[in-house]
Amino acid sequence: MLNRFDTNSKRAIKIIIGIFTAVLIYKFMTKPGNTFSVLFEFILTAIAFVYILTIHEVSHGYTAYLFGDPTAKLRGRLTLNPLKHIEPIGLLMLYVVKIGWAKPIPVDPRRMRHRNIALPLVALAGPLSNVVFAFVIFVILKSYMGNDVFRVFLSSGNSAVLMSAGWSSIAVSIFSVMYTAFYINILLASFNLIPIPPLDGSKILRAFLPESGKRLIDSMERFGFIIILLLYYMGYLQPIIWKVFNFLINNIFVSMI
């Protein structure tokens, strides 16, 4: 078992390093600027992306554990070690289209106490962790920048705003990565709240549906990913994501500026 785990871990590390190397080469080719700044910003962004996905999945598993389901813990998934959670294609998609995924956390509803309450809360925990993560970033940026600079930067994400305010190149890189992490957290939460299986929103919705509705959600599970891809390529998914995104931004963050 240990040898197999080591082999799987090494394979995952190689794939992730390959993805990061390819993206880094692309950035060097397309983004002008100081080599150190590009590399520094890339490394910070890579770490942020990995932990955005990791924390999302751990939040699902830990919430299930609080309700009596030890499945994720027994399988070694209640850890912040990203190698236990990261799915290379999902990580790559996070870079390419800003929406990605990790390995789904294993849960067993039969082992949960108060199942009717537990199931929607376990599903909600992932998107909620992204919103909380974004909130922490928001508070840090606002505290360091001040309202005026932060308001302009939040609305545009343009690092030139920070340069004109006199921040050093290192600080600009750090703030730019934090802005990206803020943006990705809210986007990932918005995507996962859509009520299409296997997204978290479908599990939250399922808890409030009659039996016929629950059966419909369950029957869609096998084809959910295909439905999501079709909606994405037909252009119907993006407006839904942006409506949820704007709702979260306007109702949680804008009022605090």
pLDDT for the residue numbered 244: 93
DSSP 3-state of 168? coil
Distances 149 to 108, 128, 131, 257 between C-alpha atoms, Å: 47, 27, 22, 11
Q: Averaged over 104-119, what is the pLDDT?
A: 93
* Residues facing residue 85 across a β-bridge: none
217 contacts 197 by C-beta, under 8 angstroms:
yes
pLDDT for the residue numbered 20: 62
Reported as a single tens digit per residue, the pLDDT across 141-175 is 988 888 888 888 888 777 788 878 778 888 888 88
Quote the pTM value.
0.85
Q: Is the dihedral of CA 117, 119, 120, 125 positive or negative?
A: positive
Q: Averaged over 96-121, what is the pLDDT?
A: 90
Q: Which of 57, 87, 211, 221 is catalytic?
A: 57
The residue assigned the tokens 């990791």 is 54
Would residue 221 show up in a list of annotated catalytic residues for this protein?
Answer: no
Reported as a single tens digit per residue, the pLDDT across 28-72 is 556 655 566 677 777 788 889 899 999 999 999 999 999 999 999
Instruction: Report d(CA 25, CA 3) in Å as an integer.
Output: 33
pLDDT for the residue numbered 122: 97
DSSP letter string over 192-246?
Answer: HTSSSTTSHHHHHHHTTS-HHHHHHHHHHGGGHHHHHHHHHHTTSHHHHHHHHHH
pLDDT for the residue numbered 3: 42
pLDDT for the residue numbered 16: 63
Instruction: Report d(CA 9, CA 225) in Å as an integer.
Output: 26
